[in-house]
Amino acid sequence: MRRFFLMEKSSPRNQKWLEDRMHQVLERGFSDLIPANKIEIKFGQAARTRLGSIRLLRDKKKSRILINRLFQIEKIPLIVVDLTIAHELVHYVHGFSSPLEQKFCTPHAGGVVDKELKARGFGQDLLFQKNWLKKNWRLFLIQHQNQIRGFIRKPRSLHRRNSRLKIRFLAGLFGA
């Protein structure tokens, strides 16, 4: 509980900041979007694999975008946050978790989200986000694992890689 309080106090990335980011993303790439219901955005829980999600609430009057709580930490580049918001808005536009007509059978069929992001001018941001996540996300998770509920061990691929490095190191010591 104390860690969470310290993170909140030292971080300007709060609810208002997140709402402002969403409005900037809407203006930049979704100016043609006429929402069929209210779209709200909030920080969800910290997670290892889910950067964001969108849900249509039961009354269908609101669609709620949840963004990974780890995005409150300033080490996460703004482009990564903005593109995650844009990704969820693409799901909304495609009729997933929104009252709009559903355009595809599944939300990620044939790379439709990436194609839509590129068509809306987020192509360079998409490349940056994918590269940044590939190079930095695992280490970031390890550094902030105390803020993730249920985070017990390193992600498997890092655990395996470190084990292989230890074996190679030991083999070098003993001349194997």
- CB contact set of 10 (below 8 Å; sequence gap of 6+): none
More confident residue, 144 or 134: 134
The answer to whether position 19 is within a domain reads yes
The answer to whether position 170 is within a domain reads no
Contact in structure between 89 and 135 (CB atoms under 8 Å): no
State the pLDDT confidence band at 66, using cuts at 50, 70 and 90. very high
The answer to whether position 172 is within a domain reads no
pLDDT in tens, 27-42: 999 999 999 999 999 9
pLDDT in tens, 46-57: 999 999 999 999
Alpha-carbon distances of 89 from 110, 140, 165, rounded to whole Å? 18, 25, 41
Q: Whole domain around residue 132: which residue ranges?
A: 2-150
- CB contact set of 176 (below 8 Å; sequence gap of 6+): none
- Using alpha carbons only, give the angle 129, 135, 137 rounded to the nearest 5 degrees: 75
pLDDT in tens, 8-22: 444 489 999 999 999
d(Cα 94, Cα 120) in Å, to the nearest integer? 13
The answer to whether position 83 is within a domain reads yes
What confidence score (pLDDT) does residue 150 get?
Answer: 60
pLDDT in tens, 87-126: 999 999 999 999 999 999 999 999 999 999 999 999 999 9
The answer to whether position 31 is within a domain reads yes
In which element (H, E) is residue 53 found? strand 52-56
CATH number for position 10: 3.30.2010.10
- Count up the domains in the chain and report the number: 1
For the chain, give the mean pLDDT.
86
What confidence score (pLDDT) does residue 10 get?
Answer: 45
Burial class (CB in 10 A: 0-12, 13-18, 19+), 175: exposed
The answer to whether position 137 is within a domain reads yes
What confidence score (pLDDT) does residue 102 get?
Answer: 94
The answer to whether position 39 is within a domain reads yes
How crowded is residue 143: how many other Cβ atoms within 10 Å of its Cβ?
12
What confidence score (pLDDT) does residue 3 get?
Answer: 39
d(Cα 150, Cα 135) in Å, to the nearest integer? 23
The answer to whether position 94 is within a domain reads yes
> What's the predicted TM-score (pTM) here?
0.78
**Mean pLDDT for the stretch of residues 123-152:** 88
Choose among 95, 98, 7, 89: nearest CA to 41: 89
User: Which tokens in the block code for residue 97?
Assistant: 């978790």
In which element (H, E) is residue 79 found? helix 78-93
